[in-house]
Amino acid sequence: MSQQAEPTLQIDNNRTRVTEWRFAPGAETGWHRHDMDYVVVPMVSGQLKLLELNGKEHIADLTAGVPYFRDTGVEHNVINANDYEFVFIEIEFKQN
Protein backbone atom coordinates (compact mmCIF):
# COMPACT_ATOMS: atom_id res chain seq x y z
CA MET A 1 0.00 0.00 0.00
CA SER A 2 1.24 3.48 -0.86
CA GLN A 3 2.01 6.06 1.77
CA GLN A 4 -0.81 8.53 2.35
CA ALA A 5 -0.42 12.30 2.10
CA GLU A 6 -0.90 14.03 5.45
CA PRO A 7 -3.64 16.68 5.70
CA THR A 8 -3.65 19.27 8.48
CA LEU A 9 -6.86 21.27 8.85
CA GLN A 10 -5.95 24.91 9.45
CA ILE A 11 -9.30 26.74 9.11
CA ASP A 12 -12.85 25.39 8.96
CA ASN A 13 -15.63 27.94 9.24
CA ASN A 14 -18.97 28.62 7.54
CA ARG A 15 -17.27 30.05 4.40
CA THR A 16 -13.98 28.20 3.87
CA ARG A 17 -11.94 25.14 4.71
CA VAL A 18 -8.15 25.47 4.51
CA THR A 19 -5.99 22.35 4.60
CA GLU A 20 -2.23 21.95 4.38
CA TRP A 21 -1.27 18.79 2.48
CA ARG A 22 2.19 17.22 2.95
CA PHE A 23 3.33 14.47 0.60
CA ALA A 24 6.42 12.36 1.22
CA PRO A 25 7.99 11.15 -2.06
CA GLY A 26 5.45 8.85 -3.74
CA ALA A 27 2.69 9.63 -1.19
CA GLU A 28 -0.85 10.04 -2.47
CA THR A 29 -4.22 11.43 -1.41
CA GLY A 30 -6.17 8.35 -2.51
CA TRP A 31 -9.23 8.60 -4.75
CA HIS A 32 -11.53 11.47 -3.81
CA ARG A 33 -14.13 13.86 -5.22
CA HIS A 34 -14.11 17.60 -4.58
CA ASP A 35 -17.56 18.71 -3.42
CA MET A 36 -16.60 22.40 -3.37
CA ASP A 37 -14.78 24.84 -5.66
CA TYR A 38 -11.19 25.11 -4.51
CA VAL A 39 -7.82 26.83 -4.93
CA VAL A 40 -4.46 25.13 -4.46
CA VAL A 41 -1.38 27.16 -3.51
CA PRO A 42 1.86 25.17 -3.87
CA MET A 43 4.39 25.91 -1.13
CA VAL A 44 7.25 24.36 -3.14
CA SER A 45 7.86 23.90 -6.85
CA GLY A 46 7.63 20.42 -8.36
CA GLN A 47 5.41 17.88 -10.06
CA LEU A 48 2.27 16.05 -9.03
CA LYS A 49 0.87 13.07 -10.91
CA LEU A 50 -2.92 13.29 -11.31
CA LEU A 51 -4.83 10.07 -11.97
CA GLU A 52 -8.39 10.41 -13.29
CA LEU A 53 -11.23 7.88 -13.04
CA ASN A 54 -11.18 7.40 -16.82
CA GLY A 55 -7.62 6.06 -16.55
CA LYS A 56 -5.89 9.19 -17.82
CA GLU A 57 -2.72 10.42 -16.12
CA HIS A 58 -1.38 13.96 -16.14
CA ILE A 59 1.77 15.50 -14.72
CA ALA A 60 1.14 18.95 -13.25
CA ASP A 61 4.16 21.25 -13.06
CA LEU A 62 3.56 23.51 -10.06
CA THR A 63 5.47 26.61 -8.97
CA ALA A 64 5.75 27.73 -5.34
CA GLY A 65 3.28 30.54 -4.64
CA VAL A 66 1.42 30.25 -7.98
CA PRO A 67 -2.20 29.20 -7.24
CA TYR A 68 -4.71 27.44 -9.47
CA PHE A 69 -8.52 27.16 -9.27
CA ARG A 70 -10.75 24.11 -9.91
CA ASP A 71 -14.54 23.73 -10.00
CA THR A 72 -16.59 21.36 -7.87
CA GLY A 73 -16.73 17.78 -9.13
CA VAL A 74 -13.09 16.94 -9.82
CA GLU A 75 -12.41 13.25 -9.04
CA HIS A 76 -8.83 12.06 -8.88
CA ASN A 77 -5.88 10.64 -6.97
CA VAL A 78 -2.92 12.99 -6.47
CA ILE A 79 0.60 11.53 -6.15
CA ASN A 80 3.89 13.26 -5.33
CA ALA A 81 6.09 12.66 -8.40
CA ASN A 82 9.17 14.24 -6.78
CA ASP A 83 12.00 12.70 -4.77
CA TYR A 84 11.37 15.26 -2.00
CA GLU A 85 8.45 16.34 0.18
CA PHE A 86 5.78 18.32 -1.66
CA VAL A 87 3.47 20.71 0.22
CA PHE A 88 0.43 22.70 -0.85
CA ILE A 89 -2.40 24.63 0.77
CA GLU A 90 -5.93 23.79 -0.38
CA ILE A 91 -8.65 26.42 0.11
CA GLU A 92 -12.20 25.15 -0.36
CA PHE A 93 -15.16 27.53 -0.77
CA LYS A 94 -18.34 26.51 1.01
CA GLN A 95 -21.74 27.44 -0.43
CA ASN A 96 -23.66 30.08 1.54
In this structure, are strands 86-93 and 37-42 parallel, antiparallel, or unpaired? antiparallel
| Confidence label for 16 from pLDDT (cuts 50, 70 and 90) | very high
Parse the chain into domains and list their residue ranges.
6-93
pLDDT of the residue at 1: 58
The predicted structure's pLDDT at residue 96:
61
CATH number for the domain whose boundaries are 6-93: 2.60.120.10
CB 7 within 8 A of CB 77: no
- Residue 77 clears pLDDT 70, i.e. is over it: yes
pLDDT value of residue 91: 98
Helices and strands counted in the chain (H then E): 0, 9
Task: Convert the pLDDT of each residue in 17-67 to its tens digit.
Answer: 999 999 999 999 999 999 999 999 999 999 999 999 899 999 999 999 999
